[in-house]
Chain A
C-alpha cells in the first residue's frame, strides 16, 4: 500500500543527507522541473475501473509507467518505457491479466491531469537491503512537498518505523487524492456528465450551466482531434456540439433570440464541417466487420474501397483540422462563452421561471410529438418519416439527460431505457439506408478508375444489397418497438415523473 508523508520544502532539499534511524535514503535520481501525468482514456475508463495510470519521467529521456489502485494507491505494476504510452498497442496485452485493456476498450491514452514538480526518486535502505521505493516531489509553487513511499512486500512495518523521524504517513494522502480528484474531474467533464440542477433554480441559471458545460466539453476535445490521437475525440466534440444545438432548439424561451440564433447557426456550421470526417472514421472502424460480411474470396476485392476511404479521410481530416484551428472557430468559442456569461443573453420570457417547470414542459412536448408522429407511420410511409422520428427521439434523449438530476433515478432510468430501445432500432434503420447510399456513391467513383477490378464493385454491390435487405427487415420490426414506447403505462410513467 502507498504511504504518503507531508514534508516541507527545506526537508525536500536536504533529503539525501537524512538518515532516519538506522535507515538511509539513497537518491537514485533528481529532476529539476518535470511533470507527473495521469494518463487515461478521454472519459476516464481506467479511473472508472479503480485504476490510476501515472507517467513519471526518469533520468535521461525515459520514464516510468505505473498502474496504481485508486482506493489505496497500491502499486500494481511498473513498466519502464521510453515515451508515455499513447495507445494500448504501446503496452503489453497481458498487463494486469488483460484487465487494463478490457477497461480501456481500445481507447487512446491522453493526459487527463499533470502536476509540475521538482522530483527526487529514492530508495530506503536498511542493513544494505532496499526495503522501499520513494518519490519525493516539491510542487511547482515551492509551497508543498510530499513523499510517496512504496514499501516492498514483507517490509511494510520496517519501512514505517524507519521513516518515523520524517513523520507519520497520512491516512488520507492529500497529494494523491488531489491528483486523483483533478483527473476524475477532467474525466467527468469529458464523459458527458451534466451539472446537478434543482427544480426551483431559475431557468436562466440552469441553462447557462448546461451550455457552459457543453461548451467546455466541446473545446476539451479540440486538441485531441487535431492531433488525431483517437477517433473518439471528434465524436465527443460532435456530440457536445449536437447536444448544445438540441438544447437551443428544445428550450427556446430562456435565451434571447439573438443569442439563440447565433448558437444554432454556429453549432450547425461546426456539425456540417465535421460530418464527412466522422462518417469516414466510422466506415474505416467498421471495415473489418464489412469484410466479414462477405465471402472469403470477395473480401480481398474490397481493398480498393478501403484505400479510397483512407485517401478521403486524409483530406477530410485536413479540412477539420483547418476549421478547428481557424479564427472563425476560436472566435465562436470565445464569443459564445462571452454571450453565455452576459446577463443580456437571458431575456427570453421564461428566463426567471423555475427550471423544473420549463424542463417538464419541454420533455412532455417532445414525448407527445414522437407519439403522434410515430402513430402516423404505416407500412407505406416514406423512410424520411422514420428518420425524422429518430431525430425527435434524439432530442428527447438529450432533454432527459440534461435534466436527469431533477427526477428520481427510479423514474427517469426506465424512460431512458424504453426510448433507447426505439432509438436503437431507428438508428440501425437509418444506418442501413445511409450506408447503402454511401457504398453506391463510392462505387460510382471507383467505376471511373480503370485499374479497379470489377470484383471490387461487385463486392461493394453485395454489401449495399445486404444493407437494403437489413433495412427492410428493420422496417418490419418498427411497430413492435414503437408500441411499448407510446403505450398507456409509459405515458403514465412520463406523467408521474413530470408531476403532470
Chain B
C-alpha cells in the first residue's frame, strides 16, 4: 500500500477538492482506495456524504487495536472507503505528542495495507506534529498551490522543512484553481516549472463546478465526468503515478 498525502500549510488552495476527486479517479481504475480525512473541519467526509464522527474520537483511534479498521466507512463508490473526520482531531497533536515519535501515523496506516492499494491523506493546513507524522508516513506529498507569490513562499517553506525529515516523501507540487485570464497566474504557471522540475505538468483550472460539490456532496469526477475539470483530475492522477514510478525506478 502506498500513502499519498495532500498537503499545504496554506489553506484554501484546493487540497480537499483535489483529494476527493483524485481518490475517486483512482477508485474508478480499480485501485482499492482509502481516504483519511485528517482535517477536523471534515470537508472530505461531508463531500462523501458521511458523518464526521469517529466513535471514541482521536484518542481511541490512536490507542486501541483495530480501532482504525472499525472506524472505516464505505462510500457510494466502489473501491473507495473513508476514514471520517472527527471534531476531536483538533487534539491530534496532543495525542501524537504522547507517542514521542513521528512514526506513529505511519505505523498505524500499515495495519491497513492488506485491504487497500492506496491510502490518501487529506491534511489540515498547518505545520504541526501531525504534519511531521504525515511526512514520515507518506510516500508522496502532493502539494496544490495557487499561482500567487504567497503560495510560492509556502512551497519553499515546506521544501525546506522536508530537508530535515528522515526519508522524506516525494514532493509533487502542482497548480490548482488557475485562472488563465489573469496575467499573474499565467506568469507563475509558466515560470515555476523551469526552476522546479518536480512540478507536475497538469494544471487544474478554476471551475465553478467545484463549488457545486457542496450541494451534490459528490466528487465532480462522478457528477460531471466529462467536464474539463474532471479531465484535469484524470490527467493529474496519471501525472502523479508517472512521477512516482520514475522516482521508484531511481
Contacts and interface: CB of A to CB of B under 8 A. Distances in A.
B103 interface: no
B49 interface: yes
Which of B30, B74, B75, B76 neighbours the largest number of chain A CB atoms within 10 Å of its CB? B30
B75 A152 contact: yes
- Which range contains the number of A residues in contact with the other chain? 10 to 19
Interface stretch (A71-79, A367-375, A388-396, A463-471): A71-79
Nearest to A154: B73
B30 to A, nearest CB: 4
Contacts of A153: 72-74, 81
B79 A154 contact: no
Given A94-B117, A96-B32, A77 B79 contact: yes
Contact of B31 (A92, A129, A152, A154): A92
Contact of A155 (B30, B49, B73, B117): B73
A282 interface: no
Interface in A68-115: 76-80, 91-92, 94-97
Contact of B30 (A79, A151, A152): A79
B150 interface: no
B78 interface: yes
A78 B78 contact: yes
A130 interface: yes
A77 B32 contact: yes
A154 B66 CA distance: 13
B72 A92 contact: no
A152 B75 CA distance: 7
Contacts of B81: 153
B205 to A, nearest CB: 27
Nearest to B31: A94
Main secondary structure of the interface of B (DSSP, over half): loop
B130 to A, nearest CB: 23
A152 B74 contact: yes
A129 B51 CA distance: 10
Nearest to B26: A94
A154 B72 contact: yes
Contacts of A151: 74
A91 B49 contact: no
Contact of A96 (B72, B73, B74, B117): B117
B73 to A, nearest CB: 4
Contacts of A96: 32, 117
A155 B31 contact: no
B73 A130 contact: no
Nearest to A78: B78
B32 to A, nearest CB: 6
A92 B30 contact: yes
A131 to B, nearest CB: 8
A76 B29 contact: no
Contacts of A155: 73-74
A78 B31 CA distance: 9
Interface in A378-421: none
A204 to B, nearest CB: 52
A151 B81 CA distance: 12
Contact of A91 (B1, B30, B32, B74): B30
B79 A78 contact: yes
Nearest to A64: B78
Contacts of A154: 70-74
Nearest to A133: B78
A71 to B, nearest CB: 14
A155 B76 CA distance: 12
Contacts of B49: 129
24 contacts: A77-B32, A78-B30, A78-B79, A79-B30, A79-B79, A80-B28, A80-B78, A91-B30, A92-B29, A94-B30, A94-B117, A96-B117, A97-B1, A129-B49, A130-B76, A152-B74, A153-B72, A153-B73, A153-B81, A154-B70, A154-B72, A154-B73, A154-B74, A155-B73
Given A153-B81, A154-B70, 20 more contacts: A77-B30, A77-B32, A77-B79, A78-B78, A79-B79, A80-B28, A80-B78, A92-B30, A94-B31, A94-B117, A96-B117, A97-B1, A97-B117, A129-B50, A151-B74, A152-B73, A152-B74, A154-B71, A154-B72, A155-B74
Q: Which 8 A-B pairs have the closest CB atoms?
A: A152-B74, A78-B78, A154-B73, A153-B74, A79-B30, A95-B30, A92-B30, A153-B72
